[in-house]
Amino acid sequence: VKLIDKTLKRFKINQLSSVLRNVEVLGKVIKIYEVKNFKTPKREGRIVSFLFGDETGTTRVVVWDEKLINKIENGLFKEGDTLLIKSGYVKENNGVKEIHLGSLAEIEVNPEGEKIENVSSKLEIQKKKIKDLKENDFAKIEGTIVQVFRPSFFEACPECGKRLELVGDKFSCKEHGFVNEVLIPVLTFFLDDGTENIRVVCFRENAEKLIGLRREELEKIKQDYEIFEPIREKLLGMQVGVVGKV
């Protein structure tokens, strides 16, 4: 009886099943999310995730291995790169299939002779009521904006988009050294769908879209928050749909 099959098998994203182990998948990086800390009664550590797609669909990749997380933090790959993921396993999270990478997993960046022509935008996203949301869900919700807070800002690298450190009177990026900073907005609001309400945090382009100002105009709000008051009044009562991770 063959109990364990260690042979790598390549799959397209639309072929993924929650019973699969030791899978190999070729795709492109669509979006990289920030590293998160987690703590459960049994373990604690860090995870990082990114959206990943091929010609057949899009999925979320969750990385648990600390060595891989360190490499990703240090720029192992960027959005738009082609990745060959090896020795991943598939899990189903609230009906959505995800690729998970543990200590045995490998990532090959822009492998020679491999390419993805077109990436499908099809992503399995469940629409949920706020009262039914659970931690780590990737879901869509719709509701009314009932409270809006003043936006906050942070300085980011124009090359890689990572948060900068203030060194003396200049901003420095770990990867690109001293750079001319780009101002990144963070907008927080409460969304209510009649079943419950939830705090929503929008970064970068999503925050800019709601604020309605170009990036170069955001400095005015940072210097004078009274400018934001009519924008806040306009947002209150607006009905929006948001897609993200809980």
pLDDT tens-digit series, residues 154-211: 888 887 777 888 888 888 888 788 888 888 889 999 999 999 999 999 988 888 888 8
Query: Three-state secondary structure along the chain?
Result: CCCCCCCCEECCHHHCCCCCCCEEEEEEEEEECCCEEEECCCCEEEEEEEEEEECCEEEEEEECCHHHHHHHHCCCCCCCCEEEEEEEEEEEECCEEEEEECCCCEEEECCCCCCCCCCCCCECCEECCHHHCCCCCEEEEEEEEEEECCCEEEEECCCCCCECEEECCEEEECCCEECCCEEEEEEEEEEECCCCEEEEEEEHHHHHHHHCCCHHHHHHHHHCHHHHHHHHHHHCCCEEEEEEEC
Please give the backbone phi and psi of residue 213, each rounded to the nearest 5 degrees, phi first: -120, 150
Length of the chain: 246
Q: Residue 95: pLDDT band by 50, 70, 90 thresholds?
A: low
Tokens of 239: 């009905």
Task: Please state whether the predicted TM-score (pTM) of the whole model is above 0.85.
Answer: no
pLDDT digits (tens, 9 = 90+) for 34-48: 888 887 778 888 999
| Residue type at position 210 | L
Here the contacts of 126-131 (C-beta below 8 Å, separation 24 or greater) are 126/94, 126/95, 126/96, 129/193, 129/195, 129/196, 130/191, 130/192, 130/193, 130/195, 130/196, 130/197, 130/198, 131/195, 131/196
pLDDT 10s digits, 210-246: 888 776 777 788 888 888 899 999 999 999 999 888 8
